[in-house]
Amino acid sequence: EVQVVESGGTLVQPGGSLRLSCAASGFTFSDYYMDWVRQAPGKGLEWLGRVRNKPNSYTTEYAASVIGRFTISRDDSQRSLFLQMNSLKSEDTAVYYCIRVSGQKHSRAFDIWGQGTMVTVSS
Amino acid sequence: AIQMTQSPSSLSASVGDRVTITCRASQGIRNDLGWYQQKPGKAPKVLIYATSTLQSGVPSRFSGSGSGTDFTLTISSLQPEDFATYYCLQDYDYPLTFGQGTKVDIK
């Protein structure tokens, strides 16, 4: 079965750090771009960032709201995606989704989503 | 950043109704637009990408159209399982941006 499974969400204090992981299975992880999206309670979806694959030098893109605080990385040997979150704020409280991005430019889809992992930033 | 404005923000409809949701981009995005459906407590799923390409396994009552700045998701005959929130997503330029969502509920 093609799937991605997030882990690592928990309660963390403001100013703290947290690392989320996403384990992929059922597909050739190294072939794909991977993204993170979050959803605050009762709110809409917010794209956070992307890491490209090896042929594209593992380059990254980020939303303005997380630049300098969040870092996306991947380990193709472990079929894993990571989201390192630093300097966490209450407004980072959300469900965080790991996503496989399929297709090519002008024909891409977020076709595989994880179930999400909840991060709560509170004292 | 490209702003995506969805309308309406919510609508009430009956089973069998034709439903149309629109998404307007603040600048041209070619055909780089997708539509996602989310049910309560679940992860979103892709319905349509590249404006009009139906994702495998998605019923043909869903269709997408548009180009440039104006895009439409149409459900030709609303089914009970279609009551959900729908989001558009532009992937033309970074940062990628979602519309604010359209909640479709039962009239």
Q: What angle do CA A50, A51, A56 make, to 5 degrees?
A: 125
Confidence of residue B107 (pLDDT cuts 50, 70, 90): confident
Contact A44 B99 (CB under 8 A): yes
Amino acid in the structure at residue B96:
L
C-beta of residue B10 within 8 angstroms of C-beta of residue B58: no
**Does B52 touch chain A if contact means CB atoms closer than 8 Å?**
no
Contact B98 A109 (CB under 8 A): no
Per-residue pLDDT of chain A (123 residues; tens, 9 = 90+): 999 999 999 999 999 999 999 999 999 999 999 999 999 999 999 999 999 999 999 999 999 999 999 999 999 999 999 999 999 999 999 999 999 999 999 999 999 999 999 999 999
CA dihedral B96, B98, B99, B104 (to 10 degrees): 160
Amino acid in the structure at residue B62:
F
Contact B95 A63 (CB under 8 A): yes
And the tokens for B103? 């909640």
The proportion of chain B whose per-residue pLDDT surpasses 70, expressed as a percent, equals 100
Choosing among B4, B45, B49, B90, which should be mutated to test the A contact, i.e. which has the most A CBs within 10 A? B49
CB pairs under 8 A between A and B: 61
What is the structure's pLDDT at B106?
Answer: 87
Contact A110 B34 (CB under 8 A): yes
